[in-house]
A and B are shown apart, each in its own frame.
Chain A
Amino acid sequence: MKRLVLLMLLLVCNSGSAIAETAEQIMKMVEANVYYGEAYMESDMTIRSGRREMTKTMSIWVQGQNALAEFTNPADRGTKYLKLEDEMWIFFPDAEDLVLISGHMLRQGFMGSDMSYEDMMTTEKLSELYDLELESQEDLDGRPTWVIGATAKEGVDVSYAIRKMWIDQEYHISVREELYAVSGRLLKVSRVEEIDQIAGRNYPVTVVTEDALRRDSSTTLRILHIDFDIDVADGLFSLESLQR
């Protein structure tokens, strides 16, 4: 009888360990997976709008707050995007022209996708921008997840006042995310369709983003190849390298 009570106590303690995690702790685990110092990746982006569909391919270099993306598909070959901390520059090879994206332009879709330039530029950790709350645990597509609600911290400028994330309890990846306006209206939904283990960490390699205000509109971003902790060439993240 004593052994049965001890076994039941152990089971209760064990099942409670998942709930015992705080939202901040869960988010730290997620951030440990998805944030990195330097990386090089090759990816493609499929943009669907109604019956229209187009795919763009690109190579991306990332180092801290800076990133460089070079498009490699025939229609956009040579077009480069450079994120230098808070600034985003575009280089158009045909016009040999450098353009700084600012103001309302940052709200436009990145290369016609459902992700805005601002979405692409956000590199701060969510735990620094939002107050997090563990709302519940749910099964999503048969897998257990933590549901975390995020509300923008007082005085912090963020695009989405409210976020809701479903964190896979095994992979520690946000497998579904809903982004809301201040009014509480759902604006965007993104879901992870494929997770891969790369260099000892779980990483989302296929993410589909849908604009909740537009019907039949989605963007699928696939990471085809990724290297973490690469050596970045000097001067790669500069306006000079953008025009090279």
Chain B
Amino acid sequence: MAGILTKLAFRNLWRQRRRTILTCLALAFGIYMVIILDSFVGGMTEMAGRNIVQLQTGDVQIQAHAYVDDPTDRSLDHVFAYSDFTDDLRQLDQVSAMTPRLSFAAELHNGMDDYHVRAMGVDPLTDPDVFTTQQYLAGQWLEPGQQQVVVGARVAQLLDLTVSDYVILLTRTANNAFQALDLEVVGILDTPHPEVNLAVYVPLDMAQTSLGLDQAITSLHMTVSGSAKSAYEAISSVVEQQNSTALGAYTWEQAAEDFMVMAQSSRAIHSMLLSMLILIAIVGVVNAILLGAMERTREIGVLKAMGMSEREVTQEFVTEAFGIGFVGSAAGVLLALLTNWFLVEYGINPYGDMDLGAGIPLRGHLYGVWNWTIIAGAFMVGILASVLAGIVPAIRAAGKSPIWALRQ
């Protein structure tokens, strides 16, 4: 009997092929969007996270709470001597590399124009152990103690700078007096992190001397191995041992709290959109089954008069819903797999060289990711939602009396 019902269901779907195809297409589109949007959002989040870790924070950083609470604070009011921590941190197995940085506000002058930048004193020797900044460098990296600067690509573009140009970096010392440094541009950084492209990098020791800061830094960045949680706890305990209430250890997620909040909001919007798409697909299935049942009222009467039970009629309609769900979901998944392969392999560059704005640490090519849980989940949900959407109209259709149905 099951075989006959299945045959009957698929014949009925084929009889109304235009409606079936449209319903399947609506469902396929919903499934396709679920997978592609998830891949896109997942890819963006992964890339942004990687950019933050590799170019901005490292896995864990030690910094004053004041700077984390107010990321726009560029004052030198909360600097610390990193030599207090280095011995203890080196003894931790989890810390595989560390490097100090000194962040300060400055104006970069080219003689004609000037631009407000975040300047970063970096240790030219240890910075590459934690950050991948040099991978995006055109020209040379910094040398300790030299009057040199590596300029972010956006700053270089705004001030029309090229390698070998000379600039003046105007800033304030720890005593608030103006300090003007004549620096040679030795390299230009074009990274996928817009904030880095708006910054300038100078040798840490030169910056410390010029700003009147003896060995002081604003942050100590670390790459950790093994469990990030245990590394974070170990580093936190080192900070606590120093009894420094102003300082704290921060994971990259904590340090980039604004981005994490934004990523969560984007996930929430993403989920809402997906729910809407699935709802549209379900409405399509309900519509197809209801119309099918209405058009075939007399046929249902004949089937029931020939001895088919209500359960079997219901089964026949549910099988039709299953058929729509299966074909629609399979088509959606298939199409999504093809598109996602392209996204993962080649990516897309919807904004060209423009930054995404709104503080999103991404630019250039955006890539997708393979999320097999979502792909399998979307396929299953597509079928299940179709079957569930078909049950009520199927029961309604099957509940009609054969005499009434035949009179229609």
Contacts and interface: CB of A to CB of B under 8 A. Distances in A.
A160 B114 contact: no
A199 interface: no
Contact of B180 (A158, A159, A213): A213
B178 interface: yes
A183 B210 contact: yes
Contacts of B212: 182
Nearest to B175: A157
Interface in A135-171: 152, 157-161
A181 B112 contact: no
A182 B111 contact: no
A213 B182 CA distance: 11
Interface string B170-196: 101101111111100000000000000
B210 A157 contact: no
Contacts of A214: 109, 111-114
Interface string B108-129: 0101111010000000000000
A183 B112 contact: no
Interface residues of A, number: 18
A172 B152 CA distance: 49
B177 A104 contact: no
B177 A161 contact: yes
Contacts of A158: 176-177
B168 A213 contact: yes
B177 A187 contact: no
A179 to B, nearest CB: 8
A103 interface: yes
A244 interface: no
A182 B75 contact: no
A104 B179 contact: no
B210 A213 contact: no
A59 to B, nearest CB: 30
A104 B74 contact: yes
Interface string A163-204: 000000000000000010111010100000000000000000
B175 to A, nearest CB: 6
A182 B177 CA distance: 7
A131 to B, nearest CB: 14
* Max chain A Cβ within 10 angstroms of own Cβ: one of B112, B114, B168, B177: B177
B178 A182 contact: yes
B281 interface: no
B105 A181 contact: no
Q: 5 tightest A-B contacts by CB? A: A181-B180, A185-B180, A161-B177, A181-B178, A213-B109
Interface of A: 103-104, 107, 152, 157-161, 179, 181-183, 185, 187, 213-215
Interface of B: 74-75, 105, 109, 111-114, 116, 168, 170, 172-173, 175-182, 210, 212
Given A159-B178, A181-B170, A185-B168, 7 more contacts: A104-B116, A107-B172, A182-B179, A182-B212, A183-B179, A183-B181, A213-B180
